Chains A and B, each alone.
Chain A
Amino acid sequence: AQSVTQPDIHITVSEGASLELRCNYSYGATPYLFWYVQSPGQGLQLLLKYFSGDTLVQGIKGFEAEFKRSQSSFNLRKPSVHWSDAAEYFCAVGSNTDKLIFGTGTRLQVFP
């Protein structure tokens, strides 16, 4: 079955600390992989996506993610977190850019 697992429901970091959000997927075909961010009262905003090629992808707001096929993972990273990064983060997989399968999300809290 196709699925996305985000093992961390809630993560708390201090401002300026590094961040890694985990994502594992199960998908039969070669997947398209995505990370979205959702702030309260807002829709989803695309941070970055992986289709093919270089397994390290750069996104907006200083985020990056690394695709590891052998581990079925697509973890999101940021070297230095800002207070404005506090939000809900969703990993998603699909065979295209739509009809996506989302994980349950990781809530990021940032302390000053």
Chain B
Amino acid sequence: ETGVTQSPTHLIKTRGQQVTLRCSSQSGHNTVSWYQQALGQGPQFIFQYYREEENGRGNFPPRFSGLQFPNYSSELNVNALELDDSALYLCASSLQGAANEQFFGPGTRLTVL
């Protein structure tokens, strides 16, 4: 059974650029959630995708957007990067339904200069 994988591991961008982060969910999972973890902070929920549609969103601006594909993998896109977007971006997959544990990937470290 393959766990949650994320790519790339690290990424450096400059302010104003756009970035795409990728996540492959664990086998059998149909739901992907994205979290932002700034340095020294806990993860913050960005949004969740289920059946290729957004299924809940945290307090993040529209320049944070996502996709989920038929194979349940997912992308997080961030436009017009700002310095404060520098963070570890975590993807978690789960099987939709109450009490189903979500499993986290190792994250993508994004640095915005």
Residue-wise, chain A 30-74 has the 8 Å CB interface mask toward B (1 for contact) of 000000100001111110010100000000000000000000000
Report whether A43 and B104 are in contact in the complex, using a CB–CB cutoff of 8 Å. Answer: yes
Chain B: minimal CB distance from A77 (Å) = 20
* Closest residue on chain B to residue A43 by CB atoms: B104
**Interface size (A, Cβ < 8 Å)?**
23
* Closest residue on chain B to residue A32 by CB atoms: B99
Q: Which residues of B contact A (CB under 8 A)?
A: 4, 31, 33, 35, 40-45, 48, 56, 58, 90, 92, 94, 98-102, 104-107
Interface centre among A98, A101, A103 (most CB of B within 10 A): A98
Q: List 27 A-B contacts (CB under 8 A).
A: A6-B42, A41-B106, A43-B104, A44-B43, A44-B90, A46-B101, A49-B101, A90-B42, A90-B43, A96-B99, A97-B98, A97-B100, A97-B101, A98-B92, A98-B94, A99-B45, A99-B48, A99-B56, A100-B43, A100-B45, A101-B45, A102-B35, A103-B42, A104-B41, A104-B42, A105-B40, A105-B41
Report whether A43 and B94 are in contact in the complex, using a CB–CB cutoff of 8 Å. Answer: no
> At the interface, is chain B mostly helix, strand, loop or mixed?
loop
Interface centre among A43, A44, A51, A96 (most CB of B within 10 A): A43
How many Å lie between the Cα of A97 and that of B106 in the bound state? 19
Within 8 A of B (CB), among A77-107: 90, 92, 96-105
